[in-house]
Structure 1
């Protein structure tokens, strides 16, 4: 290895772990081992980390100067504490996890053993393929570490071609909620819109939605709520009422009550935010809310469509 390079162990060859391991390997670090249980993770490790041995978790921790824990959030605390109970963590060892929810508090057993805890969460969705390595250059990481160790965490992110954003320990859950609310729920909203279009016979909903959604996202990122358009922002009460009625009927016909529920919730939230910013008059706001609640007694199954 080149001077200053680390021996890195990857625990979890999921979509995130394998890609980050490949990114760190690409800048000269040595990946000394990777854990992989499922066939998919083994194939991913072979594709992105060729030649890296698949080892047991304890052996990876023993060999590595930097341990990267790329495991599901709910698995992380037990894994860290279990390895701590085994006496696996080492003095001076860097231990970084990729969870968005947790900061460095979850790595208390590492700290107790004299290790250095880091939280490095990539704010990106992963495919687990090599194209993710290119996407890292346009990615930000939510970084949390002790003040003296923060430069180490930031340097690792920069080495991968990404940009570190410092998140306070106490803010990690809200930080992660913001990302999940935007990215995950956007997928649900797009899927619901595509379902409606498909139900009325549009052959390629994605082709119809694509230009609109891309422009909306770009405008929202550039201008925030000032980019808001549509019937709610205009206070077009008649259109909002027509939407609500049509979606109630659609829910009855298809069982897709989740689409109606999402529309009512998001339209209500949009109206409230527009009113607070005085993009919508009080009269128009009350009219929109009345249109959304005009048929509250109507059915909404709240269950997935068959």
Structure 2
């Protein structure tokens, strides 16, 4: 069994001043990584800010014999994010691992949600990850090694009432993962996503006590460690909660070739059960697979 070891590796964990991010930082440090602990120190809705939370986690890591430093940048500020990455480069000479964990919640039904609240959630989750990925990318390309983890969510993968903003941002991160994993492959940059189910300050008011006990956030950390390890897969959506680990897939059914004629809409409506049938579905290696499948069936129908 391969040992997961991060000795000599440098990691950046955003939103690491508490909750899952803190545990991610501690988990990486416990296995030898030098960790830059980033946290704006704001409330769950993103308001406020203080570097105190990040520094406390750094103190924990150092007390346990690890090496870490704090950073209070907002991931929505690209200049500050670039400075954060440079801080790690200046101190330790490289960045091997990026865990995009920073996030906020502004839950409301779509009918009642203000556009500003939608935009802010997307800005933190999606654009925050874009900023951090963009800042570390040239360093990872130059060193021919990198591990990036997006924090997605079942709310993005499958939906959840009152979280249209959060769900949209979280699913967008999966799309970002798909393309970055393709573009980074030649430089051994592996990009994965993690959908955690855990009791944190974001969920403490939503679940009964016995469920919260089962969903200890510590149980998510093993999936994170695997996803950013030297042996990590790429383009994998890992799900983790309560000690159970799953994988989510975006699949493509075989479909049916119907051609194009005036009554194609009606024939498609009648054929939907076959079009959506999951027998023989595949997990495409890239977006080109959809077109390849469609054209292949069209050409076969002409023969």
More helix by share: 1
Larger Rg: 1
Quick one: higher RCO (CA 8 Å, sep 6+), 1 or 2? 2
